[in-house]
Amino acid sequence: MGVDAPRILIGAEELATGVARLGAEISAAYGDGVVLVAVLKGSAVFLADLVRAMTVVPHVDFLAISPYAPGTGRVQLLKDLEIDIAGRDVVLVEDIVDTGLTATYILGELARRSPRSLAACALLDRRTTRIVPTPLAFVGFSVGTEFLVGYGLDFSERYRNLDMVAVGDIPTLQNDRDAYVKALYGR
């Protein structure tokens, strides 16, 4: 089957400009270097571009968590950091902060380890659907309520490798998770 390509919300050039700004902001704030804690898997694409936009030494480490399940009240840590962040300046790197539940859980987990400082950076900030207040020191773009794919964001593991952020139509994707594959990848 297949449908038309999804609407582009943030194009590749605009993304690059935003990521360059974030890299400069983080570099200016942490002259002695910084630990970037990225959340798998959605943040991987953003992180790769972010570190290349930085002019201070980034120490990169990864966390993996189970998705927040409504009703359970918490997410679970599936993969922990490899480094000890005690006494370090730490920035959590997120693809998108929506309800804020995921970022808040992780920030709480990181804070317990006594970092020297702790801040959060989100490429995309969906403020209108926030459930818990989540202070974000570094924000790329504010977005609305649309479901987004691309630049790390997936639907059922599709579309992460798009160089743009596009609006996914949920009913269309639920009907066929490959709905945009033909239009986007030519197959």
User: Which of 100, 98, 90, 34 shows the shortest CA–CA distance to 63?
Assistant: 90
Q: Could you say which of Mg ion, ligand IMP, none residue 148 binds, taking C-beta under 5 to 8 angstroms by partner kind?
A: ligand IMP
Catalytic residue selected from 49, 89, 98, 154: 98
E strand or H helix at 148: strand 148-149
Half-sphere exposure of 114 (CA within 13 A, CB side): 2
User: Which of 114, 93, 101 shows the shortest CA–CA distance to 41?
Assistant: 93
Q: Which listed range, 1-9, 18-26, 49-57, 146-154, lies at the site for ligand IMP (CB under 6 A)?
A: 146-154
Single out the residue of 6, 18, 42, 150 in contact with Mg ion (rule: CB under 5 A): 42
Q: Which residue is nearest to Mg ion (CB)?
A: 42
Q: Whose Cβ is closer to ligand IMP: residue 3's or residue 75's?
A: 75
Is 95 designated active site?
no
CB 170, min distance to ligand IMP, A? 9
Q: Whose Cβ is closer to ligand IMP: residue 56's or residue 139's?
A: 139
Single out the residue of 97, 107, 120, 184 in contact with ligand IMP (rule: CB under 6 A): 97
Please tell me whether residue 147 binds ligand IMP under the rule CB under 6 A: yes
- Structure tokens, 160: 């992460």
Whether residue 127 contacts residue 152, with contact meaning beta carbons closer than 8 Å, is answered with no
- Structure tokens, 10: 């943030």
Rg of the Cα atoms in the chain? 17
Contacting residues toward ligand IMP, per CB under 6 A: 42, 68, 94-103, 147-148, 153
